[in-house]
Amino acid sequence: MSHLKIFGMSKSRTFRVLWMAEELGLEYEHIPVDIGDQGTGSAEFLSINPNGRIPAIQDGELTLFESMAINLYLARQYPGRMMPDNPEDEARVIQWSFWVVNELEPGLLTLLRHRATYPEDQRDPQLADATEKELARPLAVLDQALVGKTYLVGEHFSAADLNVASVMAWAKASKVDFSAFPHVAAWMEQCLGRPASRAARR
Ligand SMILES: N[C@@H](CCC(=O)N[C@@H](CS)C(=O)NCC(=O)O)C(=O)O
């Protein structure tokens, strides 16, 4: 096995990648690069990710940025049933990974900022409420996809569940009302409660 290095703080999107590495039982080196001139803005880190963002990884000769691309690579590269072995289900995993960063992540980031991370006096509760209303459409899509199912793709937990649930963790932190999306609520609790998810947050 090549030597895997994961760059970024676990409280950032790096959580997604740490969670994947834990699910796969990989040995890895965690380099907790933080946001700022000393971390993501340093010349050393910019040579790894010229975007100056976390997460990034190095795995042997491969250097990679973008959390979803990293997780799809790790799931494909290492055994552990995180990537289905048939092309149709693999495509479904990729579909959900693109879906979550396009349909949910921007709105959830706005919600997270205006309900949890911005200082109180910089929060806009009306913007947060309006954003939550807009999120009802993609959340209904996710809820429908989970009717009668334990996992998004196939019969077991996969990179689709991990990638979507890791973004949905922001919804939980933003106190989104899940009463209209009971399947999402149950699925999310189950995913985020996995030992590997807890280990990634340490
Ligand atoms: N699309 C990228 C986004 C990465 C990203 O924006 N990461 C944030 C931390 S969660 C960051 O590094 N921000 C630094 C900055 O904006 O200067 C991914 O999913 O990896």
Residues 38, 111 within the same domain = no
pLDDT in tens, the chain (202 residues): 569 999 999 999 999 999 999 999 999 999 999 999 999 999 999 999 999 999 999 999 999 999 999 999 999 999 999 999 999 999 999 999 999 999 999 999 999 999 999 999 999 999 999 999 999 999 999 999 999 999 999 999 999 999 999 999 999 899 999 999 999 999 999 999 999 999 999 8
Closest Cα to atom 14 of ligand 1: 53
Integer Rg of the chain from CA: 17
Residues 96, 132 within the same domain = yes
Residues 98, 160 within the same domain = yes
Residues 73, 120 within the same domain = no
Centre of ligand 1 to C-alpha 149, Å, is 32
- Domain limit, last residue, from 44, 77, 110: 77
Could you tell me if the CB of 13 is within 6 A of ligand 1? Answer: yes
Centre of ligand 1 to C-alpha 21, Å, is 19
Could you tell me if the CB of 53 is within 6 A of ligand 1? Answer: yes
Residues 161, 196 within the same domain = yes
Q: Strands 4-7 and 28-31: what pairing?
A: parallel
82 located within any domain:
no
Note the pLDDT of residue 147. 98
Q: Apex CA 194: angle with CA 192 and CA 196, to 5°? A: 105
pTM recorded for the entire structure = 0.97
Residues 65, 131 within the same domain = no
**Farthest-apart Cα atoms in the chain, separation:** 50
- Domain limit, last residue, from 45, 77, 109: 77
110: CB partners within 8 A, 6+ apart: 127, 128, 131
What is the domain count for the chain? 2
Query: Which CATH number characterizes residue 143's domain?
Result: 1.20.1050.10
Residues 188, 98 within the same domain = yes
Residues 69, 93 within the same domain = no
In DSSP notation, the chain reads -PPEEEES-TTTTHHHHHHHHHHTT--EEEE-PPSSTTTTTSHHHHTT-TT--S-EEEETTEEEESHHHHHHHHHHHSSSSSS-SSHHHHHHHHHHHHHIIIIIHHHHHHHHIIIIIS-GGG--HHHHHHHHHHHHHHHHHHHHHTTT-SSSSTTS--HHHHHHHHHHHHHHHTT---TT-HHHHHHHHHHHTSHHHHHHT-
158: CB partners within 8 A, 6+ apart: 75, 81, 82, 83, 84, 89, 93, 151, 152
- Domain limit, last residue, from 36, 59, 77: 77
Query: Which CATH number characterizes residue 48's domain?
Result: 3.40.30.10
Domain that holds residue 182: 87-200
pLDDT in tens, 43-61: 999 999 999 999 999 999 9
Note the pLDDT of residue 2. 63
